Amino acid sequence: MSAVASADRLKIARAAAARVADPELPFLTIEDLAVLHAVEADERGQVTVTILPTYSGCPAMNVIALEIETELLKVGFPDARVTIANAPAWTTDRMSPAAREKLLSNGIAPPEERAAKRRLFAAAPIVACPRCGARDPERVSEFGSTACKALWRCRACREPFEQFKCA
């Protein structure tokens, strides 16, 4: 296979993998989340997709790996492999600006800009209500419906909302 043809095939493989959505946040792709780390092919043309796990206990990783294999199968890569790499370590800092916009428009406050180094008893981060924009919400719990979310309540509009936790 020529170098050009294999580069094109790799682009197709990458686009297919990038379409896979997070099963718990279906409006976000694994590319938005920066879970998709690399798509590479060896000299025989076998494709390996490397993904970065997010929260240690996140059960979505296995589903994501399975869906990547399915998407690649659809575009002609029946023997593609998915590997999970711990280095580099994933952090919410790796998420794209598009991911933050999508979270906000789906009613979930995005994580703070820089991965929190907040220690014991430090003040809670300032989070804006994704519904009314007021910057005066109260934290209900740092633990929510999934490993990546915290529970908040807006003191202005009184609505509860979730925040994608900083990690």
Partner 1 sequence: MAPASCDPRAAWLMRLGDATLMLGHRLTEWLSRAPTLEEDIALANLSLDLIGQTRAFYTRACELEGGTRDESELAYRRAEPDYRNPLLVEQPNGNFADTIARHLLFSAYAHPLYEKLAHSTDAETGGIAVRSAREMAYHLRHSGEWMVRLGDGTRLSHEKAQAALDDLWPYVPELFEADELDREAAASGFGVDPSTLRGEFDAAVNDVISRATLTKPADSFGQRGGKSGRHSEWMGHMLAQMQFLQRAYPDARW
Residues that bind partner 1 (CB under 8 A): 53-59, 85-91, 115-116, 118-121, 140-145, 147, 151, 165, 167
Three-state DSSP at 81 gives strand
Residue among 32, 35, 31 nearest 51 (CA):
35
Q: Cβ 29 to partner 1, closest distance in Å?
A: 21
Tell me whether strands 160-164 and 47-51 are parallel, antiparallel or unpaired.
unpaired
Residue 47 or 58 having the CB closest to partner 1: 58
Q: Cβ 144 to partner 1, closest distance in Å?
A: 7
Residue 75 or 140 having the CB closest to partner 1: 140
Q: Cβ 158 to partner 1, closest distance in Å?
A: 18
Task: Please provide residue 41's backbone torsions phi and psi, each rounded to the nearest 5 degrees.
Answer: -125, 145
Peptide bond just before 125 cis, omega within 30 deg? no
Residue 2 or 56 having the CB closest to partner 1: 56
